[in-house]
Amino acid sequence: MKRYHKSIWGYGEFDGRGIFFDGHPLDPAMLPPADADLFRHDPPRTKQRHPYNYDPFTIWGAPRPSAECNDTNYTDRLEQEDHAKYALLSKKHYRSGGNAYERPFDAQNCKGHLIEQFLRDWHNDPELKLLRVIEYCNASTGFPTWRLDFHDTPRSL
């Protein structure tokens, strides 16, 4: 059994399949398979061993696809699409007091209810339901990006 450790930032590490260990000794072989729908290397590339080219994994929600999912956003594309709107909604939903606010999309601040509120405002859909958040590593830059799977209300044209 391998012991997983705290990172230098103080929050727990992921095992590369979306399972959060938070420093507890667990045997990944005893856990159910997760993220079978996502591309995986054999053996899987974990965030610890391949920090700039790891396999995608679920960090919030069920680690499998949902039949309810009818739309997806990537966090890096949201910011590129409309930077002013992104900055305004980040400040609105992630303000923590003073001049500081939490970064909207990073592993230690992955709060599904805040992401869901952000997406509801982004898409102007109060009924939007967040289903899953998947972390990817952008192979060209080495930076993490998130895929947000959700169900939104279909609109007529």
Q: Please, what is the Cα angle at 19 between 14 and 23, to 5 degrees?
A: 55
Burial (Cβ within 10 Å: 0-12, 13-18, ≥19) of residue 83:
exposed
pTM: 0.72
- pLDDT score, position 70: 92
Is residue 112 within 8 Å of 120, Cβ to Cβ?
A: no
**Tens-place pLDDT, residues 24-78:** 334 444 445 677 788 877 788 888 888 888 888 888 888 888 899 999 999 889 9
